[in-house]
Structure 1
Amino acid sequence: MKLFNPTSIMEFALLLLIVIPLIFLFVKHFVFVSRHLPPGPNLFQVSGYLHQLVYKPHIAFNKLAKIHGPLFSFSLGHQLVVVASSPDIAKEFCRTNDRMFSGRHLSYVYHNLPGANSSSILLSPKCDELWKMQRSTAQTSIFSSKAMESHDWKTKVKVMEMVNYLRTKEGEVVHVEEIMFAALANLISSVVTSRNLFDFEGDQAIDDYKVMMDFVNEVIEKAITLSLVDFLPILKGIDFWSKRKAMDINRRIKLIWGQIIDERRSKGRDNPNNSTQDFLETVLAGGALSEDQIGNALMELLIAATDSTTSATVWLMVEINRNQEILSKVREEIAQTVEEDGLNESLLSQCQYFQACIKETLRLHVPAPLLVPHRAIETCKVNNYIIPKDSMVVVNAWAIARDPNYWEDATIFKPERFLDSKISHRGTHLEYLPFGTGLRMCPGSTVAFKDIQMLVGSLLHYFDWSLPNGEDMTTIDMNEKYVTTLKKEKPLLLIPKSREHYIVE
């Protein structure tokens, strides 16, 4: 996720970093000096990193960690930010003292969103009973092994819809990120509501999922990204923009999900004889959530299923296609899993080299470099330092995944490092945290991993890919940009060509 809103922070940079903090400077010194806060940069040192803190915070934090150590802190206005940059320190926050740091640090916009605080599955401010209930519902209907197995056929159908659409675009330039987003959006929507969000056919299809993708990015930008009022609570009394943004998000969520919710309420399920309930039916049957709360939960699931996973699929396509030797190995493995009706997801999971490529992509291109910020729900001691209540705690998963102390040739794409390795994507090893770990680990990590392997496996198996103008794949631009996740700076534009031998009707 993106920590800081560029517009608000850059506009009020002097106000935030110089004028107002001076008022608190001496008070903070006398209040906190006895608390033994973790070391870190002072006000003026932080201002020197302002541009990177806004646009590339994972890199700025990594540089500061090299100066101040793997556990450091600094203040932005009224807010204390604590950063963990090593597996040992991450363990303190996400394992040893997991409960104490299980809160979420969310924007004031999010707190103004009707029903958000009482309907969140992933972003709930605290791990209370309502959060446990919502999480349990999602686990049963979406994330459990039984649920995933029951949805395998839906995954296959949605992936083949994407494949068939791409066959109509043979020889044309396609925007890979947009195609991945649309496929993933349909996957999660079919699982949670038994409905598609998009139709891959028709002249309007591309425009529809472009609009949806832009809105997903906008929701993350407005509802999760921190702005000036989050660092200076004194401004809450005159903060009208946060409420306005929240109302705009609420209105657009209703446009997306309102009709689907109303239809389900009035008509029930299309197939009443099916004993498997989807997520929407389960929450409606419970009767405890309002339309706003249900809409928020559905939107949150859509964002979780598309944002970081889309980024991961794009980077995986880049890394594999840039190296013909790797591409050949992956295709040879995948070809052995094909059945008469197409790729088999369970057999794909046995493709060790392909699995290693996915893991390596999630290491080198961590989708959410700083995960989602934690919040200290109580004052706690970590490594003999005091972490005050309500501190924002950030785990720099990007820096940890590139630390040469734990990874040989840390900046090079080497899938072989994961062959015969016990390191998994489930947060069991603290040097590898693509989905986080502990209480607030992403509950959909296994679903995401399976979706990545099915989508990219299909793209590689059914199509050959080339760059426009016949450019060599090794020339693909590898620069990154930190938006909502760590994306390619330039969009991945490729031309598909069907591998005729592998066409499945």
Structure 2
Amino acid sequence: MEFAYFLFVPVVVLFLKHFLFGARQLPPGPNQFHVMSYLSQLIYKPHIALQTLAKAYGPLMSFQLGDQLMVVASSPETAKEFCRTHDRIFSGRHLPSVYHILPGTIDSSIVLSPECGKAWKLLRTIGQSCVFSSRAMETNTWIRKAKVMDTVNHLRTKQLGQVVNLEDLMFATLANIISSALTAKNLFHIEGEGKEDYKEMMSLVNEVIEKTTTFGLVDFLPILKGVDFWSNGKAMDMYRKIKLTWGGIIQERRASTKNDQNPSSKTSQDFLDIVLSDGTFSEDQIAISLMELLIGATDSTTITTVWLIVELIKNPEMLSKVREEIAQAVEGDELNESLLSNNCNYFQACIKETLRLHVPAPLLVPHRAIETCKVNNYTIPKNSMVLVNSWGIARDPKYWEDATIFKPERFLDSNIGYRGTHFEYLPFGTGLRMCPGSAVAFKNIQMLVGSLLHYFDWSLPNGDDPISIDMSETYLTTLKKEKPLLLVPKLRE
């Protein structure tokens, strides 16, 4: 009788587990001990660690990191489940606690808004009308051209053999393009490159990017929130710096609008005009929105321009092809943006290949399940953090021939684009939370890199062989070149 009882109990347990809890079965994944053995890699190279784990546990896996359940999609099929099939349910955002502490973050975000609410829709609509739409991009063509030519003319003044931190200079150029489109103001004085105020602004913007996108210990162990004085201090420090960046610009515009006797006479309104006239956004909220748009338009785009120039100067034959195409897009002494877009197919293929091989945001921006959902017969609980390993997918030999080689030709006869319709290629994400500025970014990259390659030859300091360029990467939400890009410009005939 006792023997029968001991046989019966396990059967009942299995029965209950299968029928009562089977419906809430999580995707497979490593246990806590296995996760701990990967902890260093998950911190410093998460895209690589998650790709390795996916080979063992499959393209849809989950694991516990502290109190947070992590769910990872590592194939086009699973990415599609989260970003299209169940797009609305996974449209939430997981954000560092520091971001939530910042004054003004509630209802002031396009990219980082926790959910797609009314304020998110309003800001996205305003951004679309001022920056992201085809009409806005055409209207802002002169801004891109003017800011890029400011940089070209500045480089023309360099002495022969002078070394330039090209990464910083491209970042400043892109920052001026977006800040001019948003507020009609430059953030950087290009001619003051290397001077103290230039360095301070560069440091300030980079610090805000780092601190608002990096998860800390408290994000995975909420029990520590009561003693997390460090995050509060960091948030207040960032708040002060964000106000320092945008406060004066906002107050100046508010004063000029107030003193304008006939504001309706203004031919066009930029982003700052519209959010001020709306009246529902506080100064803190406007500053947060501007900083977020600046980060979105400069950080990942700078990363792509750096890797694009590195890949081209390492491949002289490819560089020659690109320059031949660009030469056909010149009118007078300046590049014609429409000709760049319509006639430079190989150059565009090089940009697309750079976005594949060097995905700026390898795990995209973390998604959050706003409610419990079933995916591939697995339960994804509410508030799960969902990561899409776009880096791993873009280097998967199942979907890409010679997946780890820079090969622009693969895009010449391909209909794969960067708009998020092909799930094996998601440099800007896809679905509701796709980067709204993907088309703007592509145009900025075209104009900036096209001009730098057309007007200048580039070489390494001390005449080093370009093949020796250090290709090491560093991960900090985005994946950038570890060492700065230091090059010597020489004006081309």
TM-score interval, smaller chain: over 0.9
Match of 1:210 among 196, 199, 210: 199
Say which SS state the counterpart of residue 116 (structure 1) adopts: coil
Match of 1:13 in 2: none
1:325-381 deviation digits (Å, cap 9, x = unpaired): 101100000000001150011110120000000000000000010010000000000
Match of 1:172 in 2: 162
Match of 2:464 among 438, 460, 471: 471
1:434-473 equivalences under 5 Å are: 434-473=427-466
Aligned length: 469
Give the Cα separation in 2 of the matches to 1:148 and 1:274.
19
Give the Cα separation in 2 of the matches to 1:182 and 1:484.
20
2:93 and 2:115 in contact (8 A); partners too: yes
Give the Cα separation in 2 of the matches to 1:209 and 1:149.
30
| Equivalent position amino acid for 1:192 in 2 | L
TM-aligned CA distance change 1:151 to 1:376, over 3 Å:
same
Match of 2:178 among 188, 192, 209: 188
Give the Cα separation in 2 of the matches to 1:209 and 1:348.
31
2:213 and 2:477 in contact (8 A); partners too: no
Give the Cα separation in 1 of the matches to 2:225 and 2:466.
51
1:315 matches 2:307: yes
1:48-197 equivalences under 5 Å are: 48-170=37-159, 171-197=161-187
Match of 2:9 in 1: none
Match of 2:399 among 386, 406, 421: 406
1:138-167 deviation digits (Å, cap 9, x = unpaired): 011110111110000111000000001111
1:305 matches 2:315: no
Give the Cα separation in 2 of the matches to 1:142 and 1:370.
25
Give the Cα separation in 2 of the matches to 1:473 and 1:45.
40
Match of 1:280 in 2: 272
Consecutive unaligned residues in structure 2, runs of 5 or more: 1-19
Match of 1:389 in 2: 382
Following superposition, the deviation at residue 223 of structure 1 comes to 2.1
Match of 1:44 among 14, 33, 45: 33
1:86-109 deviation digits (Å, cap 9, x = unpaired): 000000000000000000000111
Give the Cα separation in 2 of the matches to 1:332 and 1:274.
42
1:294-313 deviation digits (Å, cap 9, x = unpaired): 00000001111111100000
Match of 1:291 among 275, 283, 307: 283
TM-score, normalised to structure 1, is 0.90
Give the Cα separation in 2 of the matches to 1:332 and 1:413.
20
Give the Cα separation in 2 of the matches to 1:34 and 1:442.
34
Say which SS state the counterpart of residue 439 (structure 1) adopts: helix
Following superposition, the deviation at residue 206 of structure 1 comes to 4.4
Say which SS state the counterpart of residue 111 (structure 2) adopts: coil
TM-aligned CA distance change 1:384 to 1:472, over 3 Å:
same
TM-aligned CA distance change 1:400 to 1:256, over 3 Å:
same
Say what the alpha-carbon RMSD is for the aligned residues: 1.6
1:82 and 1:393 in contact (8 A); partners too: yes
% identity of equivalent residues: 71
Following superposition, the deviation at residue 210 of structure 1 comes to 3.3
Give the Cα separation in 2 of the matches to 1:495 and 1:221.
28
| Equivalent position amino acid for 1:287 in 2 | G
Give the Cα separation in 1 of the matches to 2:423 and 2:252.
45
Give the Cα separation in 2 of the matches to 1:390 and 1:335.
52
Match of 2:330 among 333, 338, 343: 338
1:472-501 deviation digits (Å, cap 9, x = unpaired): 11221112111342111221110000013x
2:23 and 2:378 in contact (8 A); partners too: no
1:220 and 1:484 in contact (8 A); partners too: no
Greater shift in the superposed pair: 162-171 or 320-329: 162-171
Consecutive unaligned residues in structure 1, runs of 5 or more: 1-30, 501-505
1:456-484 deviation digits (Å, cap 9, x = unpaired): 00010000011111111122111211134
1:356 and 1:419 in contact (8 A); partners too: yes
Following superposition, the deviation at residue 431 of structure 1 comes to 0.4
1:217 and 1:484 in contact (8 A); partners too: no
Match of 2:417 in 1: 424
Give the Cα separation in 2 of the matches to 1:39 and 1:159.
49
1:165 and 1:200 in contact (8 A); partners too: yes
Greater shift in the superposed pair: 242-251 or 344-353: 242-251
TM-aligned CA distance change 1:221 to 1:442, over 3 Å:
same
2:349 and 2:408 in contact (8 A); partners too: yes
| Equivalent position amino acid for 2:388 in 1 | V
TM-score, normalised to structure 2, is 0.93
Match of 2:408 in 1: 415
2:189 and 2:198 in contact (8 A); partners too: no
Match of 2:221 in 1: 232
Following superposition, the deviation at residue 235 of structure 1 comes to 1.7
1:121 and 1:131 in contact (8 A); partners too: yes
